[in-house]
Amino acid sequence: MSQSGQMWGGRFQGRLDPMFAEFQKSLPQDHLLAFADLETNLAWSEALAQAGVFTDEELEQVRDAIDDLAEHWAEHGVPTDDPAEDVHSLVERELGARCGDLAKRIHTGRSRNDQVATDLRLYLRERILGLLEGIQDVCAALVGKAQAHFDAPMPGYTHLQRAQPITIGHHALAHAEPLARDRERLLDAYHRMNQCPLGSGALAGTAVPVDREALAEQLDFAGGPCRNSLDATASRDHLCEILFACAMTMTHLSRLAEDYIFFASQEAGFLRFGDAVSTGSSLMPQKRNPDAMELVRGKAGRVQGALMALLSTVKGLPMAYNRDLQTDKETLLPAMLETEACLHVAAMAVQNAEFDTVRCAAEAGKGYQNATDLADLLVGAGVPFRDAHGIVGRAVNRAVELGVELQNLPAAEQSALLPQLQCDLHRELSVRAVLDRRAATGGTAPARVKAEVERWQHVLTDWATGFEDDDGDDDGACGDEACDDPACDDDGHRHS
């Protein structure tokens, strides 16, 4: 390729090595930013018109060209295998075909460095909304499970050893809570990155007297313009934050996946995945594999790797822009898209998981999971807990020898081992009684889980309608026109 054909080719006579020409392209990744780049071009053209670089008529021509290109790409898609080096060169060339030399003038006072930084933030705002929706989907599926099974017992584990009974609903909500925190992390990152780099030039700022405040407003950056042109073009900490939130989300999904995969095993037999999310074996006709959740668990590793890759790319980079930064997109974008897809698949898998509540309840009553409660009963009868622990430990040993549960110890054994207790052990140690005792906030008692389900339903409504209503009316939006919550529109109204 002749370098004189490149947007930067003026001082070069030789040809770019063909292999290097391919190697240095970013279009295969940054074509995803095409529509954001058109938005950036439009806003910059308007700023240039205000600064006197374009007449109103010229601006109109540029606007028409941008609209036309947007329409064309909406219909035919953005090319990914074009000779253009990156999306910015592609846009400039395509606008040139529509408005001639005006397209070349759009780059006045601008660099691809502030352009790509702006495009990426615009695109990320959209993608974060997609991630928030995905998290909402998984949480809604988990809350649905919790609602259906708020009082259904199952074994609870520590160290993957049966420990104490819990409810299926309590377990489901345990996986929703961390995802709610991931959602907050993403929102937090969204707000922090919602500042406009455009107008920062290549590194030192723009020499065109543009109104950067107006430009930021035009592009809906509630945080206004980035305050330092070097930082605006060189920093990628917002990408790292988003990737951390993705990696954490995937880590949480992988734990959910692992639990449900185990629950679906013949050994546990607690649930069965529906056909929509199960696959078979090419060899073993009887197999029914939980592949959806396995893939989610597996892909978590790739997203975690992306976070390390990006941190390593940014580490030690001199101020300001370096071409290393181009690789940010090939690290970040697939990881974000993968996370979004995994959220939807995980939601689907949870919805398609059918618990065997009869088996879960039966297993919750086995294996001395009520031993702590027996110790608590002894404490109620005046025995210090540490002594009670020892007494129950011995009672468990005896019950194991006899092959019975604690409440089924023969009367003679019971009075020998637990002389302090007169109560009806069958009732006091029943799974129901054990669950009901844990009624303090955060506990697994069915009444408590039911209340948590109701609280979660409000949370989900808030998420769907925007967020907690700050202005007292009931539309779920804050009413603040300057609000930059992604769920509120320009006027502080919630998205429908």
What mask, x for binding ligand ARG by CB under 6 A, covers residues 41 to 80?
----------------------------------------
Dihedral sign from CA coordinates of 12, 17, 20, 21? positive
- Shortest separation between residue 129's beta carbon and ligand ARG, angstroms: 23
- Shortest separation between residue 20's beta carbon and ligand ARG, angstroms: 14
Q: Give the contacts of 191 (CB within 8 A, at least 6 positions apart).
A: 222, 223, 484
Nearest to 117 by CA among 202, 20, 224: 202
Q: Judged by CB under 6 A, which stretch of 271-279, 319-327, 416-424, 473-481 contacts ligand ARG?
A: 319-327
Strands 153-158 and 353-355: unpaired
Q: What is the DSSP letter of 362?
A: H
Nearest to 298 by CA among 348, 352, 346, 333: 346
Give the whole-angstrom CA distance, residue 219 versus residue 237: 21
- Cβ closer to ligand ARG: 152 or 226? 226
Q: Scanning residues 370 to 429, which ones bind ligand ARG (CB under 6 A)? A: none
Q: Cα 213 vs. chain centroid, distance in angstroms?
A: 31
* 112 interacts with ligand ARG by CB under 6 A: yes
Q: What is the DSSP string of 71-125?
A: HHHHHH---SS-S-SSHHHHHHHHHHHHHTTHHHHTTTT--HHHHHHHHHHHHHH
- Cβ closer to ligand ARG: 126 or 471? 126
Binds ligand ARG (CB under 6 A): choice among 37, 86, 92, 114: 86
- Shortest separation between residue 211's beta carbon and ligand ARG, angstroms: 24
- Shortest separation between residue 308's beta carbon and ligand ARG, angstroms: 20
Binds ligand ARG (CB under 6 A): choice among 16, 26, 43, 196: 26
Burial of 449 (0-12, 13-18, 19+ CB in 10 A): buried
Is the Cβ–Cβ distance between 145 and 350 less than 8 Å?
A: yes
Dihedral sign from CA coordinates of 247, 251, 256, 260? positive
- In this structure, how many other beta carbons lie within 10 angstroms of the beta carbon of residue 40? 28
Give the whole-angstrom CA distance, residue 230 versus residue 197: 10
- Cβ closer to ligand ARG: 37 or 241? 37
Q: Tokens 């008692």 appear where?
A: 445
- Cβ closer to ligand ARG: 113 or 369? 113
**Whole-angstrom Cα Rg for the chain:** 30
Site size toward ligand ARG, by CB under 6 A: 10
- Cβ closer to ligand ARG: 106 or 349? 106
Is the Cβ–Cβ distance between 456 and 143 less than 8 Å?
A: yes
* 89 interacts with ligand ARG by CB under 6 A: no
- Cβ closer to ligand ARG: 110 or 149? 110
- Shortest separation between residue 119's beta carbon and ligand ARG, angstroms: 9
Binds ligand ARG (CB under 6 A): choice among 65, 69, 154, 325: 325
Using DSSP, how many helices (H) and how many strands (E) does the chain show? 20, 4
Q: Tokens 């056909």 appear where?
A: 275
- Shortest separation between residue 459's beta carbon and ligand ARG, angstroms: 38
Give the whole-angstrom CA distance, residue 214 versus residue 205: 16
- Cβ closer to ligand ARG: 180 or 203? 203
- Shortest separation between residue 214's beta carbon and ligand ARG, angstroms: 24
What token pair was written down for 167?
Answer: 């409810």
What mask, x for binding ligand ARG by CB under 6 A, covers residues 165 to 204?
----------------------------------------
Q: Judged by CB under 6 A, which stretch of 243-251, 274-282, 321-329, 442-450 contacts ligand ARG?
A: 321-329
* 206 interacts with ligand ARG by CB under 6 A: no
- Shortest separation between residue 320's beta carbon and ligand ARG, angstroms: 10
Binds ligand ARG (CB under 6 A): choice among 326, 369, 407, 444: 326
* 323 interacts with ligand ARG by CB under 6 A: yes
Burial of 362 (0-12, 13-18, 19+ CB in 10 A): middle
- Shortest separation between residue 309's beta carbon and ligand ARG, angstroms: 16
- Cβ closer to ligand ARG: 320 or 383? 320
Q: Judged by CB under 6 A, which stretch of 110-118, 147-155, 377-385, 410-418 contacts ligand ARG?
A: 110-118
Q: Judged by CB under 6 A, which stretch of 109-117, 297-305, 330-338, 389-397 contacts ligand ARG?
A: 109-117
- Cβ closer to ligand ARG: 65 or 325? 325
Half-sphere exposure (Cβ direction) of 335: Cα atoms closer than 13 Å: 31
Binds ligand ARG (CB under 6 A): choice among 41, 45, 113, 136: 113
Active site residues: 159, 281
**Ramachandran bin of 494, using left for φ above 0, alpha for ψ from -120 to 50, beta for the remaining angles:** beta
Q: Indicate the residue type of 68.
A: D
* 116 interacts with ligand ARG by CB under 6 A: yes
- In this structure, how many other beta carbons lie within 10 angstroms of the beta carbon of residue 401? 9
* 33 interacts with ligand ARG by CB under 6 A: no
Angle at 218 between CA 215 and CA 221, to 5 degrees: 85
Judged by the rule CB under 6 A, the positions of this chain that interact with ligand ARG are 26, 30, 86, 112-113, 116, 321, 323, 325-326
